[in-house]
Amino acid sequence: MVIQNADRRMQIYGALLLLPAAVLLGTFAYLPTVSTLVNSLFLPGFRGSPPEFVGLENYALLIEDRTFWRVARNNLIYALGTIPTSIALALGMALFVNARLPGRGFVRMAYFTPTILPMIAAANIWMFFYAPQIGLFNKILGALGISGVNWLGDPSVALGSVIVMTIWKEAGFFMIFYLAALQSIPPELKEASDLEGTGRWSFFWRVTFPLLMPTTLFVLINALINAVRVVDHLFILTKGGPNNATNLLLYYVYENAFSFFDRTYAATITVVILLVLAVVATVKFTILDRRTHYQ
């Protein structure tokens, strides 16, 4: 009896220790998720009338919403355009600044600068690059005698322009992770393979790249989340236009919730985003984790 009591007290003690974290996580992560899920099952009430329960009607609406599919496609292109390129670039830059070169510290800082900038500030800078008449790119093209492009105004180019800016912003951030991982690889490994006459390229693929896999996995998940999560630059650059050509999922959620005041529809899209992200992250972890060597 006494032992049982002591056991129970230990359990309560443990539960109390968990409480602060549980409260925070519950209030700011799980509760909103659940309420979003609940919201997505209602239609908004107008003029003070209570919201009306409609079941999966919002989801049916979503499937028929051509703008949603357009935005989803945009986001897919955006993710495919930014993730591989920025990761490859980050790895390349990390390998470059990890080598012995003059002014290494300066180059590292230069690569990292875009990361320090807030997304809004970075977007403002790129606004000046992309501006049709006074923009840097068109000035340079003009000097070469080529007529400029309306970088953000032309529906066929605008998404590409947004992608390029995002890569510029992200690559430096991911580079830091790769740089840290590269520096944790003991230099003797390179020496040992040099003694066997292993080429640089061969060493990279047989040793460096596999040893960087945990970092690559981490960066990949981060890049994926960022591709859906970060839309700050759209507010400055395009506002999702022209004609939804650069609209991304989260920005579309924002538009629905705060421009069209359709909060239940916004909740519906949010639930879909959450589902897709969860599935992709699970797949990535289960497949890649098995082939990844953790030290």
Binding site for other proteins (CB under 8 A): 186, 188-189, 191-199, 202, 206-207, 210-211, 213, 293, 295
Complex with other proteins: residue 69 or 209, whichever CB lies closer: 209
Residue 277 corresponds to which tokens in the numbers above?
């992200």
Identify which of 36, 14, 110, 73 has the alpha carbon closest to the alpha carbon of residue 249: 73
CB of 217 to other proteins, least distance (A): 14
CB of 207 to other proteins, least distance (A): 6
Query: Which segments of the chain does DSSP mark as H helices, in order?
Result: 2-25, 31-39, 57-64, 66-98, 104-116, 119-130, 136-143, 155-183, 187-195, 200-203, 209-211, 213-229, 232-237, 249-254, 263-290
Identity at 98, one-letter amino acid code: N
Complex with other proteins: residue 17 or 189, whichever CB lies closer: 189
CB of 147 to other proteins, least distance (A): 52
CB of 192 to other proteins, least distance (A): 4
Complex with other proteins: residue 166 or 216, whichever CB lies closer: 216
Residue 208 corresponds to which tokens in the numbers above?
């460096």
Complex with other proteins: residue 73 or 206, whichever CB lies closer: 206
In 3-state terms, what secondary structure has residue 294? Answer: coil
CB of 214 to other proteins, least distance (A): 10
Complex with other proteins: residue 32 or 199, whichever CB lies closer: 199
